[in-house]
Amino acid sequence: MHLGADSFVSAVTDPTTERLVGPEKRMADLLEEIELADRVGLYSFGIGEHHRSEYYDSAPAVILAAAAARTSRIRLGSAVTVLSAADPVRVFQQFATLDLIAKGRIDLVVGRGSFTEAFPLFGLSLGDYDTLFSEKLDLLLQIRDSEQVTWSGRHRPALTGQGVYPRPLQDPLPIWVGVGGSPESFARAGLLGLPLMVAIIGGEPRQFAPLIDLYRRAGAQAGHAPEKLQVGLHVFGYVADSNQAAADTIYPGWHEMFAKISRERGFSQPSRAQFDATSGPNGAFFMGDPDTVAEKLVRISGQLGGVDRISLQMTNPRLAHADLLRGIELLGTEVAPKVAAAS
């Protein structure tokens, strides 16, 4: 099981000064975080895509290009690319170019995202939520499989044999499908034989076992080899020197982030009791000292029938840069070896 980190490049208020870290400084900090992840041996680092004022990750391919030029071993990817709101031709061209810069270290994770701002921003209808993604995924896979593409659909002008360049170093470019909780999404990924990245942001991870089983059964029935049906998890988490330090460091930003989302979506306001329960042994947050986090990673992987990759999304709006660096260091130098020894 490989371990990595993901970032949504959230705007950060420094908890010691109560001042907002400017976007230029935040980007510099992010690249330092990715460089550290590379040095301490983490397997991967992913950049999300959002189109909201509190995140600076609306152009993940640009960030990943800067990261690729500064790293040498770590795999880099999207977490996730909002394919529904993008042109598959441009997405492929961008990530193929990235793969050349990174010398074959790129993963493309595509999904629909958990926010909807991209739809009105790019003139798309939420009524086409499902068909946009399925159609664009079909085109993206055809582009990956062939330089010259003949294709037609509802949401994009047809291709009549045009070539799509450049081609990536990896053949084929790894394309993962990012999913939430829809059984149809799990089954579709299995039928296509694509690796699966499951975003777990609440509840209990073990509840996803039937959906992951559905993915594997759909893939097997479609004739795909088991080794093609990889499963990854994208989860919230943070590693500190003690369980209490991890919780106390993360909670203020977690509360700020989820209070805003709850207001927007009409949910009840989050509480410390809810946070503590979600951070507990069976909850969705992977938080604590290295022993606690490693044990939980191994246990949850077993509950889900084996997981190939887990990425911890550790950034939040009140997490100091130094604390995030410490979390990345502990994840790479202490958690990853413990997980490897137990696997």
Name the token pair of 280: 């507990």
Confidence of residue 28 (pLDDT cuts 50, 70, 90): very high
343 pLDDT above the threshold of 90:
no
Interacting residues of 292 by C-beta distance below 8 A, sequence separation 6+: 243
Mean pLDDT of the 281-305 span: 97
Mean pLDDT of the 5-30 span: 96
Mean pLDDT of the chain: 96
Neighbours of 65 (CB within 10 A): 16
Report which of 276, 269, 268, 283 is spatially closest to residue 250, judged by C-alpha positions. 276
Mean pLDDT of the 268-272 span: 89
pLDDT of residue 190: 98
pLDDT of residue 139: 98
Confidence of residue 162 (pLDDT cuts 50, 70, 90): very high
Place of tokens 């976007």: 23
- Which tens digits make up the pLDDT trace of 239-260? 999 999 999 999 999 999 888 8
DSSP letter string over 260-298? HHHHHHTPPPP-HHHHHHHTSTTSS-EEESHHHHHHHHH
- Which tens digits make up the pLDDT trace of 42-76? 999 999 999 999 999 999 999 999 999 999 999 99
Percent of the chain having pLDDT more than 70? 100
Domains contained in the chain, CATH given: 2-342 (3.20.20.30)
Bridge partners of 239, per DSSP, are 288
pLDDT of residue 113: 80
The kind and range of the H/E element at 317 are: none
